[in-house]
Amino acid sequence: MPDFGDIIFSGIKAYVAVYNPVLKIFDVPALLEYMQDVTVEAIHDTDMIKAQGANREALSVMIGAKITVKEASMRDDAVNVISGETATQSGASGDRTKTRIRSGGGEGTPYFGIIIIFAATNSGRYVYGGAKCMCQNKPKLEVTQNTFRTGEFVMDVLAIDGDIDNIDKSKKYEDSSSVPDFSVQANFQTYFDEILN
C-alpha cells in the first residue's frame, strides 16, 4: 500500500523568491497564483562505450532539472521575481493603473528559488523545491476568444555552486497542517538550508 505523500495530484500553490548565490539567501517570497500544470524533469548527460559490437558501459549523470509551470494569473510580484522586472502602480482605488516595461539585453533574468506544494491523497502534501533557478522565458501573452489566458514559464534548476552539487529537494508531509507557510521568508530559507551548505 502506498505511504503518505506517495500519490500526488493537483498543484496547490507555488512561491518564488529572488536568490542571492553569493550569500545563499532568499528575498521575500511571492505567490505564483492560479497554477495550472507543473512538470519537473531531471536533465542528464549520457554516454555509452561500445566494444565488440555491443554497448559495454553506460553513464548517466544528473546535471540539473527543468520545471515548466503553466499559470493563469500574471501576478506582478511573482513575475517581478522570475523576470527581474518591476511593475509600477499609480492612481487611487477605482482609477489605478499598473505598468510593466520589458527590456532586452543587460544582465538577463535573475536567479530565484521556487517551492511548489502538491496535494496528495489522505490530506498529505508533496513539496518540491529548486533553490537556484533561472527562467528561460518571460511570460507569453496569447489570448483566444472566450478562453482564459494561460502562460508558461520554463525554468532551469542548477547546482548550487562549484563545491555543492545539490540541485533540488522534495519532502512529503503526512498532514497538510504540517506544511510550513512558505510565504514567510524564514520558512522559505529553512526549507533550502540543508542543500545550500
- Alpha-carbon distance values, 30 to 38, 112, 115, 124 (Å): 17, 11, 10, 23
Return the bridge partners of 11, or none.
Answer: 118
Tell me the per-residue pLDDT of 115-150, one tens digit each, with 9 for 90 and over: 999 999 999 999 999 999 999 987 777 888 999 988
CA distance linking residue 78 with residue 117, whole number of Å: 16
State the pLDDT at residue 150: 86
State the pLDDT at residue 197: 87
What is the H or E stretch that residue 59 is in?
strand 54-71
CA distance linking residue 196 with residue 6, whole number of Å: 26
Q: Which cell goes with 46?
A: 549520457
Residue 20 confidence class, pLDDT cut points 50, 70, 90? very high
Query: Has this prediction a pTM greater than 0.75?
Result: yes
Tell me the per-residue pLDDT of 154-195, one tens digit each, with 9 for 90 and over: 999 999 998 889 999 999 999 999 999 999 999 999 999 999
DSSP string, 109-127: SPPEEEEEEEEEGGG-EEE
Q: Which cell goes with 154?
A: 520554463
Tell me the per-residue pLDDT of 61-112, one tens digit each, with 9 for 90 and over: 999 999 999 988 878 899 899 988 888 889 899 899 988 888 787 778 899 9
CA distance linking residue 56 with residue 170, whole number of Å: 34
